[in-house]
Amino acid sequence: MRISVSSKTVARLLKGLGYSLRVNHKKLSRSTTPERRRDRNQQFEKIRRTRLIFERAGLPIISVDTKKKEMVGRFKNAGRVWAQSPILVNDHDFRSDAVGMAVPYGLLDIQANRGHIFVGTSHDTAAFAVDAVVRWWKCDGSRRYPAAKRLLVLADNGGGNGPRNRAWKLNLQTKLANAHGIAVTVCHYPPGASKWNPIEHRLFSEVSKNWAGQPLNSYETMLNYIRTTRTRTGLTVKATLMRGEYPTGIKIPAADLAIVRLRPHRVLPAWNYTVLPRPGCV
């Protein structure tokens, strides 16, 4: 005996059995050795304790990272938007049709719930990352924390602000620690753990929601969407365009690191360290 049923009936029966439409969840970690799992757990505990020390002292804590690069122009942007007709964009995403490339480097002041995204037009390098941090300190950090002589930076484990990047540490020394008399403590999240970096879910995800479905026609359009990003928790965001050139492939000789006054921490020193200002530089 054959029985015909509609798709709605099948859906209702599946729902009754506990089925529903689901998407993939990135929850499975790569298999690691017990030593790496131990280091991972130890690092998360180290970050928690360090944050608590800075919070209790009223010292600034910033989470930093580079958001996904964007081609500027009439290109399709993921998401949907209320409109009476579709927004027309290019049928192909050719780099040659772009106004330029946008490299958004973000900083989230965790305690103040204030974000600042510096949109570069060149490359994601250590010099660009540190220049963004320095500009944040000049226009936001030093005013919000006028008495602070210490800064905590939470960063990922790669890219321009990676722990193995010599230029990152050298630029922190010369452009921030020495120039402004600040001891810069850096804690890196373990490899593959960038989604726990606060900037990812507290700032970048909110910016992506704000410009979802809207083509980023120009740099000014992008900056405007960043600046108008708000959340119910009170997040506000600034945006600054940085047009400087940041060439890649610059090698920092080991001898140049001699000027870096680096103090590795006892716990996982490769991922946790403080760059101290050199005496007499300020």
pLDDT tens-place string over residues 76-134 = 999 988 888 889 999 999 999 999 999 999 999 999 999 999 999 999 999 999 999 99
Strand partners, 109: 62, 114
Is 28 contained in some domain? Answer: no
* Amino acid 27: pLDDT: 56
Is 120 contained in some domain? Answer: yes
- On average, the pLDDT of the chain sits at 93
- Total count of residues recorded for the chain: 282
Q: What's the token pair of residue 110? A: 């965790």
Is 135 contained in some domain? Answer: yes
Q: How confident is the model at residue 267 (pLDDT cuts 50, 70, 90)?
A: very high
* Amino acid 112: pLDDT: 97
The reported pTM is 0.88
| Buried-state track 29-48, b at ≥16 Cβ within 10 A, e below 16 | eeeeeeeeeebbeebeebbe
Is 179 contained in some domain? Answer: yes
* Amino acid 25: pLDDT: 60
The tens digit of pLDDT for each residue in 210-234 reads 999 999 999 999 999 999 999 999 9
Residue 13 pLDDT greater than 90, yes or no: no
pLDDT > 70 fraction of the chain, expressed in percent and rounded: 96
Residue-by-residue DSSP string for 192-219: T-GGGSHHIIIIIHHHHHHTTT----SH
Residue 31 pLDDT greater than 90, yes or no: no
The tens digit of pLDDT for each residue in 151-199 reads 999 999 999 999 999 999 999 999 999 999 999 999 999 999 999 999 9
Which residue has tokens 């798709």? 7
Q: What's the token pair of residue 128? A: 């660009």
Q: What's the token pair of residue 262? A: 């680096």
* Amino acid 11: pLDDT: 83
Is 249 contained in some domain? Answer: yes
Answer whether 176's CB lies under 8 Å from 184's CB.
yes
* Amino acid 155: pLDDT: 98
* Amino acid 12: pLDDT: 86
* Amino acid 282: pLDDT: 65
pLDDT: which is higher, 17 or 235:
235
Q: How confident is the model at residue 6 (pLDDT cuts 50, 70, 90)?
A: confident
Interatomic CA distance for residues 192 and 74, integer angstroms: 33
Interatomic CA distance for residues 19 and 9, integer angstroms: 13
Residue 22 belongs to what H/E stretch? none
E strand intervals along the chain: 61-66, 70-72, 100-109, 114-120, 150-155, 183-188, 236-242, 262-264, 272-275
Interatomic CA distance for residues 120 and 242, integer angstroms: 5
Residue-by-residue DSSP string for 83-119: -SSPPP--SS--GGG-SEEEEEEEEEETTTTEEEEEE
Interatomic CA distance for residues 53 and 194, integer angstroms: 22
The tens digit of pLDDT for each residue in 61-78 reads 999 999 999 999 999 999
Residue 119 sits in which domain range? 38-79+99-275
Is 24 contained in some domain? Answer: no
CATH of the domain at 190: 3.30.420.10
The total domain count for the chain is: 1
Is 26 contained in some domain? Answer: no
Residue 15 pLDDT greater than 90, yes or no: no
Q: How confident is the model at residue 32 (pLDDT cuts 50, 70, 90)?
A: low
Interatomic CA distance for residues 141 and 116, integer angstroms: 11
Is 10 contained in some domain? Answer: no
